[in-house]
Amino acid sequence: MNEASGLPEAAQRVADLLRRIGHRESPVLLPATGRTAAEAAAALGCSVAEIAKSIVFRRLSDDRAVMVVASGANRGDETKLAARVGALGKADARFVREHTGYAIGGVCPLGHAREVIVLVDRDLLAYETIWAAAGHPHAVFRLSPRELLEMTGAPVVDIAVTATPHSGVRSVGES
């Protein structure tokens, strides 16, 4: 914990990065964990769809991290993602921390330890304001979808599952 700011170390790194790039909003600490989109939305008083959740995969061809910044209301279609970036595998906690510099539950969409392929869910563009993890499970920051695109340089993609629930299409995060 950084005693001067009251932020955990990883959240302070995000705060410093945001300040360096001229972002006007600082990370805030949630009273309870924001590990899931539903938890974060409940704490912030916003809809789950306004939470920009970061989901990390391992690209099988080169072991590179692929991050999808998705609307908290969406389930991602792994087939759509693989068509865009190549075959994907599961990223365990060690892989996520090694590539992004953050622990699962607090993965920020920027400021990564290594180069990460970032894609942004087009459904986030429907909102004026969204909230993203700020390096720690209790830390988030507010931004606009336009700011997210500028900060990450990421392309906008259609990742939402469009098939019916019983079609056999597996969603991101499903086992």
Is the residue at 2 inside a domain?
no
Answer whether residue 93 is part of any domain: yes
Residue 135's pLDDT is 96
Question: Minimal CA–CA distance to 119: which of 77, 90, 153?
Answer: 153
In a domain, 172, yes or no: no
In a domain, 102, yes or no: yes
CATH code of the domain containing 36: 3.90.960.10
Q: Print the domain residue range for 139.
A: 9-157
The answer to whether the CB of 141 falls within 8 A of the CB of 17 is no
pLDDT value for 75: 84
Would 39 be classed as within a structural domain?
yes
Beta-bridged to residue 70, according to DSSP, are 53
Which H, E and C letters describe the chain, residue by residue?
CECCCCECHHHHHHHHHHHHCCCCCCCEECCCCCCCHHHHHHHHCCCHHHEEEEEEEEECCCCEEEEEEEECCCCEEHHHHHHHHCCEEECCHHHHHHHHCCCCCCCCCCCCCCCCEEEEEHHHHHCCCEEEECCCCCEEEEECHHHHHHHHCCCEECCECCCCCCCCCCECCCC
pTM for the model stands at 0.87
In a domain, 106, yes or no: yes
Residue in 95, 47, 89 with CA at minimum distance from that of residue 71 = 47
Let me know: does 23 contact 33? Beta carbons within 8 Å: no
Asked whether residue 148 is domain-assigned, the answer is yes
User: For the chain, what is the domain count?
Assistant: 1
Q: What pLDDT score was predicted for residue 5?
A: 65
| Structural domain contains residue 37 | yes
pLDDT in tens, the chain (175 residues): 554 468 999 999 999 999 999 999 999 999 887 778 888 999 999 999 999 999 999 999 999 999 999 999 998 888 999 999 999 999 999 999 999 999 999 999 999 999 999 999 999 999 999 999 999 999 999 999 999 999 999 999 998 876 444 434 333 443 3
